[in-house]
Chains A and B, each alone.
Chain A
Amino acid sequence: MSDARTPTKNDFFLRAENITKVYSDGTVALKEASLEIHPHEIIGLLGENGAGKTTLTKILSGLLPPTRGRVISPKGVVRFSSPREALDFGIGMVHQHFALVGTFTAAENVALGFERPFSLLRLAKTIEDLKALMEESGLQIPLDVPVEKLAVGEQQRVEVLKVLSRDVDLLILDEPTSVLTPLEVDELFILLRRLRDAGKSIILITHKLKEVQDITDRIVVLRQGEMVGDVKTSDATTERLAQLMVGQAEGMDAVELSDSELPVRRVLKPVDRSKKSILHVEHLTARGNTGDIAVDDVSFDIHGGEIFGIAGVEGNGQTELVESLTGLRVPTAGTATINGINILGIDPRQIYKLGVAHIPEDRWELGLVLPFTLAENAILGVHRWKEFRGHFSVLKWGKINQHVRELMDRFEIRASGPSAPAKSLSGGNQQKLIVGRELAKDPAIIVAAQPTRGLDIGSAHYIRQTLVDMREKGRAILLVSADLDEVLAHADRVAIMYEGRFMDVCSPEDLDRKKVGMLMGGVTAAKETA
């Protein structure tokens, strides 16, 4: 940001000129977008889902050809026919949905990128390099465990390391911080600044206004495929950015922050704790995929009309806890009951019958059958209901389609109709479909794991509001999220999970950012004073 680094016109690394992208189905994803990328700079790419951020970065990184316009470097027009050519040119991208081989270890996944046809696999050297890189970047991952056994957060760190290890000049990161602790975000930002000072260019796709203002030198805002702003970060205000992004004046930021940097809590009906709790969990212990203890002696209660939040960095047992409570994992010890009925180790179908709705963490792997239509996805898990299934197991498509149209109305799912394939929907609409489906079960308990991850502000806001509405209707809600502000703003009680244990369970009012950050990193108040 200092004048010494201010780039001159000539020393750009890459320039996208008047890029227009029209997909084969006629969707205009980008309209005449131009972007100049210089060395020594971090660019923040802001925009809602469907604004064209991903399309723009895909064009830059060689995954998509532009319909019109060109990408030029000082040496001339650049065209990539594959991401690998882009990598060789010096452009690397970390995607939101990871491109990892599940059965390979982290080291093997990184080595895979180096591999060329007919060349030797340099695994030993890769491990050596990776260790040095992990030392330098502060991102720690186990190198010798198949990545499918790592949590989503850890997998993302593998992706970041994978691209960093490729010695790129332009690094594109799609929502990189959504699964990191505040401390790790700081470390990542230190790394990014170091890379910038070394002359690299970085594009950061994010929804988080605070983050983008913290780290970037320049902020580019996209709205509905059009570039609506290209401002120096020092000149940008939060209100202005939000307005550019959403296209309206009112601040629709995910969570309002008060002066103390804590989210503003909306006034909520107090929880009635005189009644018996709906979900009762005692001494729950479960093993992870690696066989290690992932959930370690966890106990809690959730009452009707309460949101119980679990914060923490991903990979600290949240996934296994949710899976144990929804019938997808058999715990090793402990009890869990819903209104007195045991739910551990029984079939997911039986659990749904007890009134559990599950908004899963991985909406592509678990929540949806992507090639299925909207209607087919809307009945997943409820396809044996009497309303949908008649004699001889015959599905009543008429009623199902009618139900789907109601869902589309009620949950503002934008799609061409019940027979649109689920994969054609945007991330926000896919998640709304899942939320709609689960809430249609009229559940007593809603288990929501990372319900707003990767969603645009509008969709995220809508889903949070829906959860709050369900709370007001007396439902019990378990909200597991890596987004700390989301948990602090909505939960009545917050548990901070670290290495399978609850570090602390308390009301969000009793927490401050520093304390939460320490708890998420495994530092208890007692240890601190000691």
Chain B
Amino acid sequence: MSIKETQQQSRLLRGVHRTLTGLHPALESLIAALVGLLVGAILMAVWGYDPWKAYIALLQGAYGGSYEWASSLTRATPLILTALTFSICLRAGMFNIGAEGQLFMGATAAICISFFALPPGLHHIVGLLFAAIAGAAWSLVPAALKIMRGVSEVISTIMFNWIAKWLALYLAIYVLVDPIRAEKTVSIPLSARFPLLVARTDLSYGIFVSVAFALVIYFLLWHTATGYELRAAGLNPAAARYGGIPNKRTMFLSFILGGIAAGLAGATIVMGLPPTYAIYGGGGLPQLVNMGFDGMAVAMVGRNHPLGIIIAAIFFGGLNAGGRVMQFYGSSPVPLEMVRVVMGAIVIAMSIPELIRVFPIVATGSRNLLRALRGNRKEESA
């Protein structure tokens, strides 16, 4: 390939890149979602499934009727909150990966309310409060390490996720265990369960907790001085300091808010997800695991905006709900794992504009390498 051809090619790529980065963020997310679905379709075709039929099944399973909508929204409920955890911290300039662990602690704390009786309503509030406090408390140590000692929040939150997981497991198996059914914890009493929003589905009033919290965060970030300080510190810490904004306070606040969101996510699962209203210790916390990490994907697709997150969470919730239908569909059902492939592909596709930027660099690099090799050969022959 001549230099000229490479030049033309990289120019084309740059053009594509400019077109892609010039897109509205929402459109970018939409394209990423379509690319993800396309990649999934190709993989299904390679493995001998019929992608067309599978996606129709997925779509119907996700949004085909009120039952399907309900089940998608159920799955979106905790994702909205864990996505907010990631986004709030990102807006403040930090990479908080701790939603997973904070969610475990929130769920565990919410289970604790089973041990005392309160009137309905109050019992709900106490449950949410317990979960929020537990989530916030779990984010406190990484926050303090970051603020006081400059410890990378990425490392500390990942570590805390593991501690939380095993702590939650221990508590579920040995402390909060249901004396009758040892594979799960005690169940949340009726007085603290979120009533179902749609009968004969698993969608509960818990979704209102998620949406309300998202709206509160939206209002906080863009309509209060506190949120303004948080965003300023995230975008330009030096200018924020110049503007009299204490960076440490915005860091602390974002971690606490993130912890509250993740804790609430745990509460919406144990207090709002039928039929057990409990944590399963057996099988390693199956209802809770990955909710925090999926939240990060939702945050990306939702462009770290609370309103975008709600839409992205409904999409991801739909994939999860529809995926279950897809695996029972027709003569050659597609396994649920394929849905996770699609999710992964979407997350990768989100970074396509950046990827395309890398191509010309790689092209130039390999050209230089070739040139250098050729040069060496000439020297050797001479």
User: Which residues from chain A sit less than 8 Å from chain B, CB to CB?
Assistant: 24, 65, 79, 81-82, 84-85, 116-119, 326-328, 347-349, 352, 358, 360, 365-372, 376, 379-381, 383-384, 388-389, 392-395, 397
Complex Cα–Cα for A328 and B369 (A): 47
Q: What distance in Å separates the Cβ of B181 from its nearest Cβ neighbour in chain A?
A: 46
Report whether A116 and B372 are in contact in the complex, using a CB–CB cutoff of 8 Å.
Answer: yes
Min distance, Cβ A353 to any Cβ of chain B, angstroms: 9
Contact present for A393 and B240 (CB under 8 Å): no
Indicate which residue in A81, A326, A372, A383 contacts B14 across the interface (CB closer than 8 Å): A81
**Min CB gap B236→A, angstroms:** 4
Nearest residue (CB) in B for A360 is B242
Q: When the two chains form the complex, which single residue of B18, B244, B245, B372 contacts A119, counting CB atoms closer than 8 Å?
A: B372
Residues in B neighbouring A367, C-beta threshold 8 A: 239, 242
24 A-B pairs with C-beta separation under 8 A: A24-B18, A81-B7, A85-B7, A117-B366, A326-B242, A327-B244, A348-B244, A349-B244, A358-B242, A360-B242, A366-B242, A367-B239, A370-B236, A372-B235, A376-B232, A380-B232, A380-B239, A381-B243, A381-B244, A388-B225, A393-B225, A394-B223, A395-B225, A395-B228
Given A81-B7, A81-B10, A84-B364, A347–B246 Cβ distance below 8 Å? Answer: yes
Chain B nearest Cβ from A393, distance in angstroms? 4
Inter-chain contact A381/B242, CB cutoff 8 Å: yes
- Is the C-beta of B224 less than 8 angstroms from some C-beta in chain A? yes
B132: shortest Cβ distance to chain A, in Å? 19
What's the nearest-Cβ distance from chain B to residue A323, in Å? 10
* Interfacial chain A residues near B235, Cβ < 8 Å: 369-372
Q: Is the CB of B242 within 8 A of A383?
A: no
Task: Flag B222-251 by CB within 8 Å of A: 1 or 0 each.
Answer: 011110110110011011111111100000
**Which residues does chain A contribute within 8 Å of B369, judged by CB atoms?**
117-118
B195 within 8 A of A: no
Further 4 A-B residue pairs, CB within 8 A, beyond A117-B368, A118-B369, A380-B232: A119-B368, A365-B239, A367-B242, A369-B232
Does B232 contact A81, Cβ atoms closer than 8 Å? Answer: no
Chain B 348-382 per-residue mask, 1 if CB under 8 angstroms from chain A, else 0: 00000000000010001110110010000000000
Specify which chain B residues have a CB less than 8 angstroms from the CB of A327 in the assembled complex. 244
Contact check, B226 vs A393: say whether CB atoms are below 8 A apart: yes
The 9 closest A-B pairs by CB, nearest first: A349-B244, A117-B365, A381-B243, A380-B243, A393-B224, A348-B244, A369-B236, A366-B242, A116-B368
Q: Report yes or no: B360 in contact with A81, Cβ–Cβ below 8 A.
A: yes
Residues on A with C-beta less than 8 A from B366 are: 117
CB distance from B158 to the nearest CB of A (A): 25
A326 neighbours in B (Cβ, 8 Å)? 242
| B contacts with A, residue count (CB < 8 A) | 32
B16-55: CB near A (< 8 Å → 1, else 0) gives 0010001000000000000000000000000000000000
Q: Which of chain B's residues has its CB closest to A385's CB?
A: B225
Which residues on the B side are within 8 Å of A82 (C-beta)? 360, 364
Q: How far is the CA of A328 from the CA of B242 in the complex (A)?
A: 7
The 8 Å CB contact of B239, one of A65, A347, A366, A384, is: A366
How far does the Cβ of B87 sit from chain A's closest Cβ, in whole Å? 16
Assembly CA distance A354 to B121 (angstroms): 50
Chain B, Cβ-Cβ closest to A118: B369
Can you name the residue of chain A whose Cβ is closest to the Cβ of B234?
A: A369
Q: Judging by beta carbons under 8 Å apart, are A397 and B11 in contact?
A: no
The digit string for B153-190, where 1 denotes a CB below 8 A from any CB of A, is 00000000000000000000000000000000000000
Inter-chain contact B246/A372, CB cutoff 8 Å: no
User: Please, which residue of chain B has its CB at the minimum distance from the CB of A350?
Assistant: B244
Q: For A347, what are the chain B residues with a Cβ–Cβ distance below 8 Å?
A: 244, 246
Contact of B224 among A24, A352, A392 (CB under 8 A): A392
Nearest-CB distance from A392 to chain B (Å)? 7
CB distance from A363 to the nearest CB of B (A): 9
B244 CB contacts on chain A under 8 angstroms: 327, 347-349, 352, 381
Could you tell me the distance between the alpha carbons of A369 and B231 in the complex, rounded to whole angstroms? 10
Cβ–Cβ < 8 Å partners of B236 in chain A: 365, 368-370
Which residues of chain A are within 8 angstroms of B360 by Cβ–Cβ distance?
A: 81-82
Chain B residue at smallest Cβ distance from A368: B239
B residues within 8 A CB of A119? 368, 372
A395 CA / B365 CA spacing, docked (Å): 50
Given A118-B365, A395-B228, A328:B241 Cβ within 8 A: yes
Q: Give the Cβ gap from B238 to chain A, nearest Cβ, in Å.
A: 5
Give A327 to B246 CA distance when docked, in angstroms. 12
Contacts of B14 in A (CB 8 A): 81
A381 to B240, CA, bound (A): 8
Contact with A along B52-88 (1 / 0, CB 8 A): 0000000000000000000000000000000000000
A345 to chain B, nearest CB (A): 14
Nearest CB on B from A5, distance (A): 34
Question: Within the assembled complex, what's the spacing in Å between the Cα atoms of A383 and B245?
Answer: 10
Given A352-B244, A365-B238: A118 and B232 interface contact (C-beta under 8 Å): no
Contacts of A349 in B (CB 8 A): 244-245
CB-based contact B223/A397 at 8 Å: yes
Q: Give Cα distance in the complex from A79 to B232, angstroms.
A: 40
Which residue of chain B is the closest to A384 with respect to CB atoms?
B225
Cα of A116 to Cα of B375 in the assembled complex, Å = 14
CB contacts (< 8 Å) of A116 on chain B: these are 365, 368, 372
The interface bits of chain B over 92-135 (1 if a CB of A lies within 8 angstroms of the residue's CB, else 0) are 00000000000000000000000000000000000000000000
Contact of A383 with B223 in the complex, beta carbons under 8 Å: no
- Which residues does chain B contribute within 8 Å of A389, judged by CB atoms? 225
**Contact, CB under 8 Å: B372 / A118:** yes
Q: In the complex the two chains form, is B228's CB within 8 Å of A394's CB?
A: no
A410 to chain B, nearest CB (A): 21
Chain A minimum-CB-distance residue to B360:
A81
Q: Given the complex, which residues of B lie within 8 Å of A380, measured CB to CB?
A: 232, 239-240, 242-243
> Measured between C-beta atoms, what is the minimum distance from A390 to chain B in Å?
9
Residues of A near B372 (CB, < 8 A) are 116, 118-119
